[in-house]
Structures are given as C-alpha cells and as structure tokens.
Amino acid sequence: MSHVKQIQQALGQLPVLVMTDAVSIRYACQFHIDDGAAVISHDKAWVITDSRYVEAAQAAIRDMEVLCTSRGHGVDAILGEIFAAEGFDKAGADPTRFSHSQWQWLEKAVGVPLVEDRTTLYTLRASKDRGEVDCIVKAQRIAERAFDDILGIIRPGLTEKEITAELVYRMYKYGGEGNSFDPIVVTGPKSSMPHGVPGDNVVKAGDFVTMDFGTLYNGYCSDMTRTVAVGHATDEMRQVYDVVLRAQLAGIEAAGRPGIPGKEIHNAAAKVIADAGYGEYFGHGFGHGLGLEIHETPGANGDKPLPEGAVISAEPGIYLPGRFGVRIEDMLWLHDGVAEDLTKAPKQLIIL
C-alpha cells in the first residue's frame, strides 16, 4: 500500500519532494518512523531512519532505498549527500508540516532552495484507495466490537472515566494500536458539551451517555459517536435523538451526489435541525476528513467539491446547554457516485 509511485506521478515540474514528519513518511512508505526523512524524486526514493527502526524498515519497505544514520552522521548529512549526488536544484516541502526553525534546518541540510508545496500530498491524501479504506474499516470494526461490550457494562453508578477505561482496554484487546484521539465520554448535563472531557461524573438513570472514540489499524483512524440512554428517556430526549438521526441521514444522502461541496452536505443536515427548532444548538460542522490523522484533508464543510475517494465523518448534533446533548457519528467513503457508510453500529436509540 505504498504511495511512492503516486507521489512520483504527482510531482509535475517539481524535481523532488522532502518529508520529515512521521505522518507524511508513513503515507509514502506505510512504515512508521519517528525521527527521519523521506526523499522522493521522479525516478528514485529514499527513506532515512536510525538503528531503532532500520532492520524492520528494510524488511517492510520495498520501493525506497533505506538509509541508516549513525553517530555523527545524521539525517542532515545523509540528505546533503543525496542532493549532492543527484544534482537537484530545488526541493518541494509542505510548510504546514514544519516550524520555521525546522524549515531553515532542512534548507541548510539539502543545500538548495525549498519551494513551498502545499498541494501534492494534500491532494493525494484526500482520496483514499481501497487499501487505506480497508485499514479504516478494520479499525472501525475493532471500535464497534468494543462498543458492543460497553453496552453490557454501562449502568447507573459508573463514572465517565470508568467507561472510558473499558472502551480503551477493549479496543486494545481486539487489535487496536491505540486511540485515534482522546475519547470523549460524557453523561447527563455534560453530554451538552461536544468535546467534554471524561471525569468523575456518575451515570444516573434517565441520563444520556455520549461516547466519541476510535482506534488505529496500520496507522489509520476510525471515528464514531453513539449516544445511548440509561434506564429510560423522556419524550424530549427521544425527539432530539430522532432529529439528529434524520439530520445525519439527510447529510449522508446529500454526500452521495458526486462532486458535491462539503457545505451543501452540511446544509442538508443543518436544515433538518433548524426546521425542528434546534438550529442554534448545532454549532459545529457536519464532518471532517480523516485517515492517517483524525482531522485531515479534505475539509468537509467548505465550498470546494469533495474529491472521489474522500473519507469523511458524518456527525451532526444537538446540544442543549446544562441539560443534555445528542451526537451520532458514522464514517463515509465517497466513491463511484455513492456515500458508502463504513460504520455498521446500530443508530436507533438504545436504552440500556
């Protein structure tokens, strides 16, 4: 699932692209390196790592030359050697992936001017191939299995932190590589906080519990939110839940139109919420792109058409301050004229 050839084909007039952040390197060669670099030209590719990773990198990476640093001969020295040997006169790099000092360091290391390239990786990463989607789906199935377990655990008296710990444990147990973000588990009045932090609040009968969580598989993120009721739900709670679900379904339907701008998907969902009288209580966007990062390209609420192959979240919500909130989140893969829902967890209101 390496993307070296795709990057080479996308270079255009740029002679070479340099990456030093772990996410970009992993996208290129599908191998995680904390501290190193990748260099990709039209016909060659190198990845630089150190003794911690070199043996595993050499076994895993097939279409890049793996170079190893040593004491006194670091990444900067190897980069300089590559550029001197190949005669590159400039190099592209994504400035959003570097601090100012890192940019200066890299330019000095390669010995040629750096050209800001904000589009090559941005464009490629916005469209997921089948291999990437398979990893996202595997991560999601792990998260869903953990969610199934949690439904049998939640009860009055448990704290938000305890539920969070059970979720995280089970995602690891079932094959996850870690959290794709810090889980959100909030109950009762705190469920009105879209990004509430799990605390010592205790679940009570009649509460909503909102859980937003995900895990990693081969570096790719899953992301889901489910809101469940404990013991019973009032008519208003049921009504709000129904509005959020209808809003999500409206957004998913809109997302199935090829080339649709993200804002039109958002507006389709927001209209359902506004028509029900809750417009002021939906303050965030319908979704976001995700993949190797939990928030990545494409932006899912803007003016630009979403590209073929994009994976986005679908997560409208209604949040009534100090009372309760509801959010339902799935992941969509936009391809071949459909918005394929990658999430299989049930969406009807669950009362435990």
What DSSP line would sit under 142-196, residue for residue?
Answer: HHHHHHHHHHTT--TT-BHHHHHHHHHHHHHHTT--SBSS--EEEEGGGGG-TTP
Average pLDDT score over residue span 110-119: 96
Q: pTM for the whole thing?
A: 0.96
Question: Does residue 301 register a pLDDT over 90?
Answer: no
Q: What is the pLDDT of residues 235-271, one digit of tens each?
A: 999 999 999 999 999 999 999 998 999 999 999 999 9
Output the CATH code of domain 4-125. 3.40.350.10
Report the pLDDT value the prediction gives residue 302, as an integer from 0 to 100.
87
Residue ranges per structural domain of the chain = 4-125, 130-341
> Into which CATH architecture does domain 130-341 fall?
Alpha-Beta Complex (3.90)
The rounded percent of the chain whose pLDDT value lies above 90 is 96
- pLDDT of res. 3: 97
pLDDT band at residue 299 using 50, 70 and 90 as cut-offs: confident
How confident is the model over 148-187, as pLDDT tens digits?
A: 999 999 999 999 999 999 999 999 999 999 999 999 999 9
Mean pLDDT of the chain: 97
Q: What is the pLDDT of residues 14-43, one digit of tens each?
A: 999 999 999 999 999 999 998 999 999 999
> What is the arithmetic mean of pLDDT over 2-24?
96
State how far the Cα of 138 lies from the Cα of 142, in Å rounded to an integer: 6
